Chains A and B, each alone.
Chain A
Amino acid sequence: MTDTSQTPLVQLKDISISFGGIRAVDHVSLDLYPGEVVGLLGHNGAGKSTLIKILSGAYQKDGGEIWIEGQPAEINSPRDARDYNIETIYQTLALADNLDAASNLFLGRELTTAAGFVDDAKMESETAKIMARLNPNFRKLKEPVSALSGGQRQSVAIAKAVYFKAKILIMDEPTAALGVHETQMVADLIQELKKQGLGIFLISHDTREMLELCDRVSVMKNGKMIGTERVEDVTEDDILSMIIMGKKPDQAA
Chain B
Amino acid sequence: MTDQTTQPPGTTKEPEGAIARFFRETELDTRLLGMLGALAIIWIGFHVYGQLVNGFGAFLTPRNLWNLSVQTASIGIMATGMVLVIITRHIDLSVGSMLGFCAIVMGVVQVNILPQFLGLGHPMIWIIAVIIGILCGSFIGAFHGALIAYGKIPAFIVTLGGLLVWRGAAFLVARGETISPVDPTFRLMGGGPYGAIGATGSWIVGILGCVAVLGLILMGRRKRTTFHIAQRPVWAETFLAIVGCGAVIGAVLLVNAYPWPRGIVRRYAEAEGITIPEGGLFISHGFAIPVLILVAVAIFMTILMSRTRFGRYVYAIGGNPEAAELAGINTRWMTVKIFALMGALTGLSAVVASARLGSATNALGTLDELYVIAAAVIGGTSLAGGVGTIYGAILGALVMQSLQTGMVLIGFDAAIQQVVVGSVLVLAVYLDILYRRRSK
Please measure, in the bound complex, the distance between the C-alpha atom of A108 and the C-alpha atom of B309, giving whole angstroms.
Answer: 8
How many angstroms between the C-alpha atoms of A107 and B313 in the bound complex? 8
Across the interface, name the chain B residue whose C-beta is closest to A140: B5
| Contact yes or no, A118 B316, CB < 8 A | no
Min distance, Cβ B435 to any Cβ of chain A, angstroms: 16
Verify A139–B5 contact, CB threshold 8 A. Answer: yes
Q: Is the CB of A96 within 8 A of B324?
A: yes
- Expressed in whole angstroms, the minimum distance between the Cβ of B286 and any Cβ of chain A is 32
Could you tell me if B319 and A125 are in contact, using CB atoms closer than 8 angstroms? no
Query: Which of A11-19, A86-94, A187-195 lies at the interface?
Result: A86-94
Pairwise interchain contact A107-B327, C-beta atoms closer than 8 A: yes
Count A interface residues, CB 8 Å.
34
Interface string of B220-231 (1 = CB under 8 A from A): 000110111100
Measured in the bound complex, the distance between the Cα atoms of B315 and A108 in whole Å is: 12
Q: Are the CB atoms of B320 and A97 closer together than 8 Å?
A: yes
- From A77, A96, A103, residue with most partner B Cβ within 10 Å: A96
- Are A125 and B386 within 8 A (Cβ)? no
Q: Which residues of B contact A118 (CB under 8 A)?
A: 307-309, 311-312
Interface residues of B in 319-351 (CB under 8 A from A): 319-320, 322-329
| Shortest CB distance A124–B (Å) | 7
A78–B325 alpha-carbon span in the complex (Å): 8
Question: In the complex, what distance in Å separates the CA atom of A53 from the CA atom of B313?
Answer: 22
A109 to B5, CA, bound (A): 27
Give the residues in chain B near A82, CB-CB below 8 Å.
328
Q: B318 interface residue, CB < 8 Å from A? A: yes
B309 touching A124 by the CB < 8 A rule?
A: no
**Dominant secondary structure at the A interface:** loop
Judge whether A99 and B308 touch: CB under 8 Å. Answer: no
B2, CB-defined interface residue at 8 Å:
yes
Complex partner residue of B315 from A79, A93, A99, A116, CB under 8 angstroms? A99
Contact status B326-A96, CB under 8 Å: no
- In angstroms, Cα B316 to Cα A116, docked, is 19
Is B387 in contact with chain A by the CB < 8 A criterion? yes
B309 touches A96 (CB 8 A): no
What's the nearest-Cβ distance from chain A to residue B221, in Å? 11
Q: Is A229 an interface residue (CB 8 A)?
A: no
Count contacts on B: residues with CB < 8 A to the other chain: 31
Q: Which of A77, A98, A124 contacts B318 (CB 8 A)?
A: A98
Name the distance in Å between B411's Cβ and chain A's nearest Cβ: 44
Contact between A90 and B326 (Cβ–Cβ < 8 Å)? yes
Q: Mark A103-138, 1 if CB is under 8 A from B, else 0.
A: 110011110100011100110110000000000000
Neighbouring A residues of B387 by C-beta, 8 Å: 98
What distance in Å separates the Cβ of A45 from its nearest Cβ neighbour in chain B? 19
| Docked pose: A103 CA to B315 CA in angstroms | 10
- Residues of B within 8 Å of A104, CB to CB, are 323
A98 to B305, CA, bound (A): 14
Q: Is the CB of A143 within 8 A of B5?
A: yes
> Among B313, B320, B386, which residue has the most Cβ atoms of chain A within 10 A?
B320
Give chain B residues whose Cβ lies under 8 Å from the Cβ of A99. Answer: 312, 315-316, 319
- Which chain B residues border A202 with CB–CB below 8 Å? none
Of the candidates B303, B320, B328, the one whose C-beta lies within 8 Å of that of A78 is B328
Q: Are A94 and B326 in contact (CB under 8 A)?
A: yes
Residues of A within 8 A of B (CB): 56, 58, 77-79, 82, 88, 90, 92-99, 103-104, 107-110, 112, 116-118, 121-122, 124-125, 139-140, 143, 147
What is the interface of chain B, defined by CB distance below 8 A to chain A? 1-2, 5, 223-224, 226-229, 303, 307-309, 311-313, 315-316, 318-320, 322-329, 386-387
Give me 29 A-to-B residue pairs in the complex whose CB atoms sit less than 8 angstroms apart, sorted by A's number: A58-B325, A78-B325, A78-B326, A90-B326, A94-B326, A94-B327, A95-B320, A96-B316, A96-B318, A96-B319, A98-B315, A98-B318, A98-B387, A99-B315, A99-B319, A107-B327, A108-B313, A108-B327, A108-B328, A108-B329, A112-B309, A118-B312, A121-B227, A121-B229, A124-B229, A125-B227, A140-B5, A143-B1, A143-B2
